[in-house]
């Protein structure tokens, strides 16, 4: 480029500039490169997470077999049995148990904050919800262990308070802040003219909320529940501390209540508790990464679905 300055337009422009101006143009170009590189960092990180999970997970499918891994009914690493079905069932049970509690309460609380509460109360409530969202999961686990578990043990007269139920209740309070804040955003985003129209037709405030506001905010509320579910299924420490960590499958439909009141083991808790004991490169080690890959796939699906629903409802960021 330096040899043909006259034909290079940029060179010509540069020639007439002061040193300061030249320097700021160079800076501008460098900054642009740095910004663009950082911009795609998110894609690179996500891709790397997938690659590093897959790299150590794939040997599982040859060593154990993909079917034996996914629908094998027993997880007993000491006997070389790596079926994740009991862990999957454990995760799903605890998660859905949590959602049964968190979804109605969370949506009702969001309605209260957005539509019913007096304005002075509203900001206080939001602060408390943020406070709840900020409590570390290990502290939730600790409280579940110290307060909730003894309570569950006493009420149901169980040998141990570390049960699926304890985990579900703990998780319910952990996923509530997500459900509340996303639902509240969706409810607040409903145009005021909608409810004004309804009120002008003689509907009461509650009828307006129920038949106009909530249906309009439906997609946002559904996405809120999905995001809450994503949070619950990926939660690790609290579940590890309060569910007792026994990989058991329910004994048919009759056995469900007993299953719920007994210890379970989730996918996340298995990774957290077993990683320290495995030898790098062993089948057990590979199987833990395969569980991680499964979790990654589940969270990917849940988040894509939530994003799609939000976008369709016009609430997405784009």
> Under rule CB under 8 A, which residues in 273-292 are in contact with another protein?
275-276, 280, 288-289, 292
- CB 183 within 8 Å of CB 110: yes
> Under rule CB under 8 A, which residues in 26-45 are in contact with another protein?
27-28, 31-32, 34-43, 45
- Cβ closer to another protein: 89 or 113? 113
- Cβ closer to another protein: 262 or 286? 286
Tell me: does residue 263 bind another protein (CB under 8 A): no
Tell me: does residue 312 bind another protein (CB under 8 A): no
> Under rule CB under 8 A, which residues in 75-104 are in contact with another protein?
104
Buried b (16+ CB within 10 A) or exposed e, 226-237: bbbbbbbbbbbb
Tell me: does residue 52 bind another protein (CB under 8 A): yes
Q: How far is the CB of 254 from another protein (least distance, A)?
A: 31
> Under rule CB under 8 A, which residues in 160-189 are in contact with another protein?
173, 176, 180
Tell me: does residue 13 bind another protein (CB under 8 A): no
- Cβ closer to another protein: 95 or 248? 95
Q: How far is the CB of 47 from another protein (least distance, A)?
A: 8
> Under rule CB under 8 A, which residues in 136-155 are in contact with another protein?
136-143, 145-147
> Under rule CB under 8 A, which residues in 190-229 are in contact with another protein?
204-207, 209-210, 227
How wide is the angle at C-alpha 73 spanned by C-alphas 69 and 76, nearest 5°? 80
């Amino acid at each position: 480029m330096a040899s043909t300055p006259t034909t290079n337009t940029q060179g010509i422009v540069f020639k007439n500039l002061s040193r300061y101006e030249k320097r700021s143009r160079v800076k501008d170009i460098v900054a642009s490169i740095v910004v663009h590189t950082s911009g795609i960092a998110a894609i690179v990180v996500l891709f790397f997470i997938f690659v590093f999970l897959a790299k150590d997970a794939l040997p599982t499918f040859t060593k154990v077999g993909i079917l034996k891994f996914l629908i094998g009914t027993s997880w007993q690493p000491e006997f070389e049995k790596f079926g994740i079905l009991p862990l999957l069932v454990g995760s799903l049970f605890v998660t859905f148990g949590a959602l049964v509690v968190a979804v109605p309460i969370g949506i009702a609380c969001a309605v209260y904050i957005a539509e019913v509460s007096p304005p002075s109360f509203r900001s206080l409530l939001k602060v408390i919800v943020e406070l709840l969202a900020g409590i570390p999961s290990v502290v939730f686990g600790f409280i579940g262990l110290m307060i909730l578990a003894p309570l569950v043990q006493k009420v149901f007269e169980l040998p141990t308070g570390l049960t699926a139920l304890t985990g579900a209740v703990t998780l319910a309070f952990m996923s509530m802040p997500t459900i509340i804040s996303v639902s509240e955003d969706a409810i607040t985003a409903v145009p005021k003219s909608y409810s004004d129209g309804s009120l002008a037709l003689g509907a009461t405030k509650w009828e307006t909320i129920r038949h106009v506001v909530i249906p309009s905010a439906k997609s946002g509320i559904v996405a809120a529940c999905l995001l809450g579910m994503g949070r619950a299924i990926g939660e690790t420490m609290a579940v590890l501390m309060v569910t007792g960590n026994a990989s058991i499958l329910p004994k048919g439909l009759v056995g469900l209540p007993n299953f719920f009141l007994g210890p379970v083991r989730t996918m996340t808790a298995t990774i957290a508790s077993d990683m320290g004991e495995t030898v790098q490169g062993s089948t057990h080690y590979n199987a833990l990464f395969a569980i991680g890959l499964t979790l990654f796939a589940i969270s990917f699906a849940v988040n894509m679905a939530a994003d799609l629903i939000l976008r369709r409802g016009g609430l997405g960021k784009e």
